[in-house]
Structures are given as structure tokens and as C-alpha cells.
């Protein structure tokens, strides 16, 4: 197996996750957000991007960590995913603590992910690997943006 390129996303001051190089579409600085009442804590806002309303997820809340990206995030990643191979792309957005970094992920064994709630552990992670001494989660973007409402 060969090394692959990925984006390292800092989702809080202490947590990171990785996505495939092809999944990151655009980084927005200081995006205008719109609050949606009566929605789950991890998805209370949307952004308007290229005429589309995109859910703005706060992945740090899903991992059980403190989301210190603020009510109005400084950086947002627009993510592309597909429901099925023959379907059009769908888009969503993630809050970020910093600008993403492109990394090379070397082949190797997966590691045990950090402590996560059972709901999140069962629903989301595809894998977890070590990079620069930190555990990096890899989520399935299709599952992430289709999570049913959950209590955090």
C-alpha cells in the first residue's frame, strides 16, 4: 500500500481529524453563519455557499471535547461527499480552529481511537492513525452529515 495525501483538520485547540485530499473543496475565512433554532448542539448553524445552504457541523462537540472555535468560527471547511458512487456530490461544512494542513499518511496499522461516546464510536470513525504523536480520527463524511439527532 502506498502513502496517501490527506488534510489534517484542527477541530479544537486539542483535537484533529483527517479527511481525504479529494474531500476538501474550499476553506472559508470568517463565513457568515445563520442560526437554526431547535437543532442539535453539533449542528445549530448553516452557511450559504455558492447559493447552497450547507449544515455547519462542530466536530469537536461530536468527539465529546470542548468546541472552542467560537459562535462565529474563524475558519470553515467545505466538504464534498457522495451518498453512493453514481450520485451527485453533496456538501457540508465543518468548523475549524486553524487552517488545514496537507499531510502524507504512511501505510500502517490503525490505532485505537481516543475515548468517544458509544453513539459516536459506533456511527462515525472509519479509522484512527498516529501522526506526530497524536491520534487522528478519520470519519466517514457521508455518515457525519447524515447523523440522526443525538444527545451530547
Could you tell me if 98 and 16 are in contact, meaning their C-beta atoms sit under 8 angstroms apart? no
- pLDDT score for 118: 57
From the list 99, 102, 132, 133, the residue with the least C-alpha distance to 7 is: 102
Distance of CA 56 to the CA centre of its chain: 10
Q: What is the mean pLDDT of residues 33-47?
A: 86
- pLDDT score for 124: 66
Model confidence at 20, in pLDDT bands (50, 70, 90)?
Answer: very high
Could you tell me if 73 and 95 are in contact, meaning their C-beta atoms sit under 8 angstroms apart? yes
- Concatenated DSSP letters of 61-100: HHTTS---S-SS-SEEEEEEEESSTTS-EEEEEEEESS--
* Rounded CA separation 133/131 (Å): 5
Weakest-pLDDT range from 41-45, 113-117, 142-146: 113-117
The answer on pLDDT for 106 being more than 50 is: yes
Q: What is the mean pLDDT of residues 51-65?
A: 82
Model confidence at 151, in pLDDT bands (50, 70, 90)?
Answer: very low
- pLDDT score for 29: 95
- pLDDT score for 48: 94
Q: Give me the count of residues in the chain.
A: 152
- pLDDT score for 88: 94
Amino acid at each position: 500500500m502506498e502513502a496517501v495525501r490527506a488534510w489534517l483538520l484542527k477541530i479544537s485547540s486539542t483535537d484533529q481529524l483527517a479527511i481525504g485530499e479529494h474531500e476538501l473543496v474550499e476553506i472559508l475565512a470568517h463565513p457568515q453563519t445563520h442560526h437554526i433554532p431547535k437543532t442539535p448542539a453539533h449542528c445549530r448553524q448553516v452557511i450559504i455557499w455558492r447559493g447552497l445552504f450547507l449544515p455547519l457541523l462542530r466536530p469537536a462537540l461530536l468527539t465529546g471535547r470542548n468546541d472552542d472555535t467560537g459562535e462565529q468560527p474563524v475558519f470553515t471547511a467545505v466538504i464534498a461527499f457522495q451518498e453512493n458512487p453514481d450520485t451527485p456530490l453533496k456538501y457540508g461544512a465543518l468548523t475549524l480552529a486553524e487552517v488545514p494542513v496537507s499531510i502524507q499518511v504512511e501505510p500502517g496499522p490503525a490505532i485505537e481511537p481516543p475515548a468517544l461516546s458509544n453513539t459516536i464510536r459506533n456511527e462515525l470513525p472509519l479509522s484512527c492513525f498516529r501522526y506526530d504523536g497524536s491520534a487522528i480520527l478519520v470519519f466517514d463524511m457521508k455518515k457525519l452529515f447524515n447523523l440522526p439527532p443525538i444527545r451530547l
